[in-house]
A and B are shown apart, each in its own frame.
Chain A
């Protein structure tokens, strides 16, 4: 029973962390139960969970533009501001345009509520906590990227490792390798960025992505639950505006390159994309009733 409860607690950790460590953590839990009083074990485990679960979510949150290595401050702030501006503008305009904003106060409600739906976008700002100084060394057959002062081993990729290069305009580039865990992110303000890009383009095909593509991330479980609760509980005039705003955002997403892939169900985010229509469906049902 105790272990079953602990398994439920483990489900609160991010999926990647859980898949990697849950078996070991359960084993440790069993070991401790054999040697220590259950009350003490549970006190420790719950206290630790309160700290480590949010920390792991912060560490392993989705950062489509800032994968393996941390991004520089200006790119992170720029991305955060752009995304916050786009999300807020869309929500505010949609609320006003639908004329369901019967009072001035409903507009910020739409903006805040849609902000919850789009909250994964905010995580771009968290990167400012992980500022590092990047150094890139470009060789004839290899490139090495390291974070000066971090004490981490430099990442070296050879010509044979590189399968594709994705350039994100005004942000940086991502070097794709056969092993996804070795993919390398290089921010644009690295001193030798131009040399690096030129060398990589000799090794593998380059795709260039405009900055506005791929900005949308589907809401996670909590975001979706909050959105559904809002759709269910808000007064109808607010809820319909909120739903309209959400649908507009999703339509905008579909119009982007990423959205097309979502609709063909070939993207792992497709299911969550469909689920994010749930709040709008709830409002529709309320309206029909």
Chain B
């Protein structure tokens, strides 16, 4: 079956990896974190969220974990996801690519320094 390409990382996949960068999370926690850090500009719907997670799992960028990072919402029914080392490398590469683009935009005076 066809798989979604992760090169370059789609926006949803990038946000998910970013949300997992500081610890394991379940689906709803990822969704909440993405909405919070983007001031609700990016809201991942459940289909997009789990579709992206599936793609990231297939690619080995994230892995499921049985450990419960957040005991308050720890629930045996929930699946938690963890950023793998391959995923962290891909996340770094994508962030670097974006940083390079921003630097380029600044050098062409598309962005002012205050915006960056």
Contact = CB atoms under 8 A, between A and B. Distances in A.
Nearest to A24: B27
Contacts of B5: 130, 150
Interface residues of B, number: 32
Contacts of B27: 24-25, 27-28
B48 A153 contact: no
Contact of A52 (B26, B31, B48): B48
B27 to A, nearest CB: 5
Nearest to A21: B50
A24 B78 contact: yes
B3 A130 contact: yes
B46 A29 contact: yes
Given A21-B54, A27-B28, A27-B77, A59 B1 contact: yes
Contacts of A23: 77
B90 interface: yes
For the residues of A in contact with B, the DSSP-based class is: helix
Contacts of A202: none
Contact of B1 (A28, A47, A63): A63
A52 B59 contact: no
Contact of B79 (A24, A58, A62): A24
Contacts of B7: 149-151
Nearest to B75: A27
Contacts of B48: 48, 51-52
Contacts of B46: 25, 28-29, 45, 48, 52
A53 B50 CA distance: 11
Interface in A59-112: 59-63, 66-70
Contacts of A59: 1-4, 51, 55
Given A150-B5, A151-B90, 16 more contacts: A17-B50, A24-B27, A25-B46, A32-B28, A32-B31, A48-B45, A48-B46, A58-B2, A59-B2, A59-B51, A68-B1, A129-B2, A149-B7, A151-B7, A152-B6, A153-B60
10 contacts: A25-B27, A45-B45, A48-B44, A49-B45, A49-B47, A52-B51, A70-B2, A129-B2, A150-B6, A151-B7
